[in-house]
Amino acid sequence: MHKTSEWLLSFTSDGQPRSSSQAQVLTKKFQPCFKIAITGGKGGVGKTSIALKTALEMARSGFRTLLIDCDSNLSNTAIKLGLPLDNKFEKLLSSEISFEECVIQRGNLHLLPACNGSNEIFDSKLNFDQIITDIISSHEHEYDYILLDCPAGISRETLTLNAYCDYRFVVVTPDKSSITDSYSLIKVLSQKFAIKNNHLLVNMSQNDKQLQKVVTTLTETVKNFLGVRTHFLGSIPKLDVSGEEFDTFFLSETKSAWHKNFVKLLYEFTEKSGGLLAAHESGRNQMALEHDVH
Ligand SMILES: Nc1ncnc2c1ncn2[C@@H]1O[C@H](COP(=O)(O)OP(=O)(O)OP(=O)(O)O)[C@@H](O)[C@H]1O
Ligand SMILES: [Mg+2]
């Protein structure tokens, strides 16, 4: 296993790769834990909702799943699950508590929430990307999938985390500014971190024509201008539910076509990524969630 600090050091200060070793790390054929960044550049496109739903479904399928909230001081994962906010993450950073004490465990799903309006986090001089990559390298042997719920924006810290992951689910809505922001994210990832592959997840699509336009526009533009490949993961139709009911509906396991569509796109991904095969081999895929999060 490579050391995280070595990986971070493989980039120069302007983000250029120093050697081909980083590319080798990112393209290794087999690994026991797949790391996925749920990202997208634009705010409010559904990154946190999708990261949570993905984590819940992976856990329900028997995968040992860790979701790390990377929105360090505007953490939304716990609140969307109806869990209390406690800013325990501050204490993890100051080594007052352990990772196990900070993580919320619900059967196969483990959640590491971050903070909400913490002055300590605001004042902290720590590099958040290094903290997260160190946590991952210490615990990845315990999980089949580690998901990162990324904040909006294309800060160096966020993009370093994106590049560190094996996969990036770029969440885009049909909104023009979402497409523009995701292009910017893919561009900087390509030019500063040599990332040439991403997955595209179109959220809040309202019809096939609109969906096709988003997929073609983004896929063709990043291919022609950046030489980057986009793997279309699927689309999540826009839900017509009120704000208050949104989280419950989005995250619940229901018999709806909408839920089945989400599970199908995830199943196709896990099958392709080899995770499903790995879980079959270890007999874990039949395990059920011990407790439901709701
Ligand atoms: N498929 C959908 N159908 C309808 N509304 C949606 C859908 N996905 C997301 N939303 C709406 O978008 C809101 C924002 O979602 P979410 O918090 O997951 O986005 P985000 O990208 O994580 O935001 P931020 O950038 O602030 O972290 C949700 O509360 C919901 O109202
Ligand atoms: Mg979010």
Find the range with the poorest average confidence among 30-44, 111-125, 211-225, 276-290.
Answer: 276-290
**Which residue CA neighbors atom 8 of ligand 1 most closely?**
46
Please give the radius of gyration of the chain, using alpha carbons only, rounded to the nearest integer.
18
Residue 292 clears pLDDT 70, i.e. is over it? no
Q: Which fold has domain 32-282?
A: Rossmann fold (3.40.50)
Q: Is the CB of 45 under 6 A from ligand 1?
A: yes
Q: Is any ligand 1 atom within 6 A of the Cβ of residue 41?
A: no
Gap from CA of 21 to ligand 1 centroid (Å): 37
Q: Packing angle between helix 257-273 and helix 47-60, nearest 10 degrees?
A: 70
Q: Is the CB of residue 161 less than 8 Å from the CB of residue 132?
A: yes
pLDDT at 23 (0 to 100): 36
Residue with CA at minimum distance from ligand 1 atom 25: 43
Q: Are strands 229-237 and 167-172 parallel, antiparallel or unpaired?
A: unpaired
The answer to whether residue 69 scores a pLDDT higher than 70 is: yes
pLDDT surpasses 90 at 26: no
For helices 176-193 and 208-226, give the axis angle rounded to 10 degrees: 30
Q: Give the C-alpha separation, 10 to 288, whole Å.
A: 40
**Minimum-distance ligand 1 atom for the alpha carbon of 44:** 23
Given a contact cutoff of 8 angstroms between Cβ atoms, the answer to whether 211 and 235 are in contact is yes
> What's the mean pLDDT in 23-44?
73
- Give the pair of three-digit tokens for residue 38: 């749920």
Cα 48 to ligand 1 centre (Å): 7
**What was the pLDDT predicted at 184?**
98
For residue 64, give the nearest of 252, 247, 290, 263 by alpha carbon.
290
CA separation for the pair 152, 35 (Å, rounded)? 19
Which of 147, 143, 145, 138 lies closest to 171 in space, CA to CA?
147
Q: Is 47 in the pocket of ligand 1 (CB under 6 A)?
A: yes
Q: Where exactly are the structural domains of the chain?
A: 32-282
Q: Is residue 254 predicted with pLDDT exceeding 60? A: yes
Q: What is the pTM of this model?
A: 0.86
Burial class (CB in 10 A: 0-12, 13-18, 19+), 120: middle
One-letter amino acid at 41 equals: G
Burial state string for 173-198 with b = 16 or more CB within 10 A and e = fewer than 16? bbeeebbebbbebbbbbbebbbbbeb
Q: How far is the CA of 153 from the centre of ligand 2 (A)?
A: 11
The residue whose CA is least distant from atom 15 of ligand 1 is 46
Which atom of ligand 1 is the closest one to the Cα of 71? 27
Digit-coded pLDDT (tens) for 211-225: 999 999 999 999 999
- Among 16-20, 149-153, 228-232, 258-262, the range scoring the smallest mean pLDDT is 16-20
* CB-proximal residues (5 Å) to ion ligand 2: 47-48
Model confidence over 132-191: pLDDT tens digits? Answer: 999 999 999 999 999 999 999 999 999 999 999 999 999 999 999 999 999 999 999 999
Residue 29 — pLDDT band, cuts 50, 70, 90? very low
**Number of neighbouring beta carbons within 10 Å of residue 206:** 11
